[in-house]
Amino acid sequence: MSFSSRLRSIPAILAVAGVGFAACADEPQTPTGPGPDENIGVELDQQLTAKLVSSEMTGRIEETLEARLGRPVDDQLAEVGRLLFFDPVLSITEDNSCSGCHGPNASFNDSQSISVGIENNGVVGPGRAGPRNLRRAPTVINSAFYPKLMWDGRFQSHALDPFDNSSGFGFPQPEGNSLSNLDHLLAAQAFTPVVAREEMAGFDVQGDNDAIRSVIEQRVDGIAEYRASFAEVYPAIAAGAPIEYRHIAEALAEFQFTLVRANAPVDQGRLLRVPHHPGLLE
């Protein structure tokens, strides 16, 4: 029905409604008048599809994880990473963990508008209190796919691909390009929160970043359960080698690989609507 023909039919509809009202005033009235335009949905679909294509959003990113890693996610390593993510053992002050700021109760986002790190009151949620950091913690969900990390993108894969270290991973000094031997940008990133004084290390910590990581790796190495878990993944550790910070970082990254959530209804909608369309994130 065109708009003008529907307009012409309105008086007739009103007349019928009026009769209905007089006959049974107590019964609920069915809304009358022009129905929704069935073309609106089609047009919106077309506009949405065009927008998704122009934004390079295909809904296929979740299924690219394994191929880009070049292997399946290692469940055992991810489980060690999960335990470490929630363990204040990684904090020199032993009062904060990754999850203090990236809380699962806040979608691995921050429960605070500006992060509270060390010397917190032990709460993760609205009541969290303590010295503020400079910024809010973003969610780590889907961070496996980001070619640059942090709000200002200062941690980056030079190849603009977090799975590709061939051109190096760039960090501000003192790390610079020294973390480029890690396989994934998230593993390189995991070297940094533990040395940030206001996040996990504490204002009074002595020594440089490597000295801080060395304390942490010795601590983790001294925990029999962690040694046993790491030994199941790394033959060298099973053979007696000590746990190094690299192993801890790789475990944290592996856990974050399990936090890929790109299959929400809107993503399924993309799958239905948008044909395969290679983009920056694929």
- 3-state SS, 61-126, equals CHHHHHHHHCCCCCHHHHHHHHHHHCCHHHCCCCCCCHHHHCEHHHCCECCCCCCECCCCCCCCCC
Nearer to ligand HEC, 54 or 173 (CB): 173
Tokens describing residue 53: 């294509």
Residue 214's H or E segment, with its range, is: helix 209-221
Interface residue with ligand HEC among 195, 252, 262, 274 (CB under 6 A) is 252
Residue type, 83: L
Interface residue with ligand HEC among 46, 47, 107, 151 (CB under 6 A) is 151
Crossing angle of helices 38-54/265-273, nearest 10°? 90
* 169 is a contact residue toward ligand HEC (CB under 6 A): no
| Positions 86 through 115 that interact with ligand HEC (CB under 6 A) | 90, 96, 98, 100-102, 115
Phi then psi dihedrals of residue 148, to 5 deg: -135, 140
Nearer to ligand HEC, 220 or 252 (CB): 252
Q: Are strands 155-157 and 169-170 parallel, antiparallel or unpaired?
A: antiparallel
Interface residue with ligand HEC among 59, 103, 117, 202 (CB under 6 A) is 117
Least distance from C-beta 16 to ligand HEC, angstroms? 58
Task: Count residues binding ligand HEC (CB under 6 A).
Answer: 27
| Positions 118 through 147 that interact with ligand HEC (CB under 6 A) | 133, 135-138, 140, 143, 146
Interface residue with ligand HEC among 149, 233, 237, 251 (CB under 6 A) is 149
- For residue 174, what are the contacts with CB-CB under 8 A and spacing of at least 6? 208, 209
The site for ligand HEC (CB under 6 A) is made up of: 90, 96, 98, 100-102, 115, 117, 133, 135-138, 140, 143, 146, 149-151, 186, 189-190, 193-194, 199-200, 252
